[in-house]
Amino acid sequence: MCRVSATPEHAWPLSSGTIASGPVSAPPLPDNLTSYDFLKSFALITMVADHVGVYLFPDDVGWRIVGRMSLPVWLFLIGYARTREIGVPLIGSAILLLISNVVFGEHVLPLNILFTIALARLAIDNIMQRAAEGRASMVVEFALLTVGMVPTLMLFDYGTHALLFAMLGYLVRHRERIGFSARQVAYFAGAASLVHGATQAYLFAAGPVTALTMVAAVSLSVALTLLFRPAELPTLTRRLPFLAAGVLKLMGRHALVLYVVHLLVLKALAAWLVWDRVDWFRWRWFLFD
């Protein structure tokens, strides 16, 4: 049994803030597991797999394929959330990871995904205000974000096309209010999946099989977001072992901390075990140099 609820608005990484209609206070998180906990745990696990591949197994593309499933969920939750806060923890974490890139001799640009998250929170309401004017407006916004990824991939992780999934989250939550059918939202989701999957396949110089696998992985992840609804899960909470429920809550409710910690740990492990030598502080401007 599950109980649908509007209270567990713990969208990553923070849960309070403001939206266009005014301030929203963060409700207390429920003791029970929620659908947010499960969706965010899925996103966190696939994200960690991606970074394990980046730092410890750079020649094994399988880790990176799994990692393609993470971005759509995080950005979906940004658009789905009622809140738009960009607080000190988010910005501080983004800057800390940027500094870690400098220390470990990595790149500065594109800026890490936390900057993309902040941009999505700043921009999504304005984007959707224009897009909701009609079908043609939605197509125009989709096209602008897709084309805009070409220059912006050099500036921040995933470029503007990442915001397509924030648009999807907004659409899923507000579909009836803005007059879109479930089929139209599904078409939008399919198009966003194809853009993201094809872009990643191109950047990885993937062969046909790997490219199709990437698109399929992204599509599966997006399908999970389309099925998402806020819900408390008291029966499941009682039936799961205490430790399992605790781990799911940890991943679902402390994703920002886990994101920062796991990246710093993986960088340190790579410097010790994988990299021939670390060019301490010999950072470069661009990843694609």
State the pLDDT at residue 7: 39
Residue/partner pairs of 5-8 with CB below 8 Å, 24 or more apart? 5/30, 5/34, 5/230, 5/231, 5/232, 6/230, 7/230, 7/232, 8/34, 8/35, 8/36, 8/230, 8/232
The string of DSSP codes covering the chain is: --EE-S-----SS---EEETTEEEPPPPPPSS-BHHHHHHHHHHHHHHHHHHHHHT-TT-HHHHHHHTTHHHHHHHHHHHSS-----HHHHHHHHHHHHHHHHTT-EEESBPHHHHHHHHHHHHHHHHHHHTT-HHHHHHHHHHHHHHHHHHTTTBTTGGGGHHHHHHHHHHHHHHHHT--HHHHHHHHHHHHHHHHHHHHHHTT--HHHHHHHHHHHHHHHHHHHH---EE-HHHHHHS-HHHHHHHHHHHH-HHHHHHHHHHHHHHHIIIII-S---TT--EEETT-
Q: Domain ranges for the chain, please list them.
A: 41-275
Minimal CA–CA distance to 166: which of 12, 59, 284? 12
* CA–CA gap between residue 66 and residue 42 (Å, rounded): 11
Question: Looking up tokens 């509007």, which residue turns up?
Answer: 6
Minimal CA–CA distance to 55: which of 282, 283, 264? 264
CA dihedral angle for residue 248, residue 252, residue 256, residue 259, rounded to 10 degrees: 40
Each residue's pLDDT, cut to its tens digit, for the chain (289 residues) gives 445 444 344 433 333 333 343 444 556 789 999 999 999 999 999 999 999 999 999 999 999 999 999 999 999 999 999 999 999 999 999 999 999 999 999 999 999 999 999 999 999 999 999 999 999 999 999 999 999 999 999 999 999 999 999 999 999 999 999 999 999 999 999 999 999 999 999 999 999 999 999 999 999 999 999 999 999 999 999 999 999 999 999 999 999 999 999 999 999 999 999 998 888 998 899 887 6
* CA–CA gap between residue 249 and residue 98 (Å, rounded): 28
Please indicate, yes or no, whether the overall pTM of this predicted structure exceeds 0.75.
Answer: yes
Encoded tokens for 92: 């501080």
CB 285 within 8 A of CB 102: no
State the pLDDT at residue 289: 65
State the pLDDT at residue 278: 85
Distance of CA 138 to the CA centre of its chain: 21
CA–CA distances in Å: residue 15 to residues 10, 100, 175, 215: 5, 26, 22, 31
CA–CA distances in Å: residue 222 to residues 43, 153, 173, 217: 11, 21, 15, 9
* CA–CA gap between residue 180 and residue 132 (Å, rounded): 9
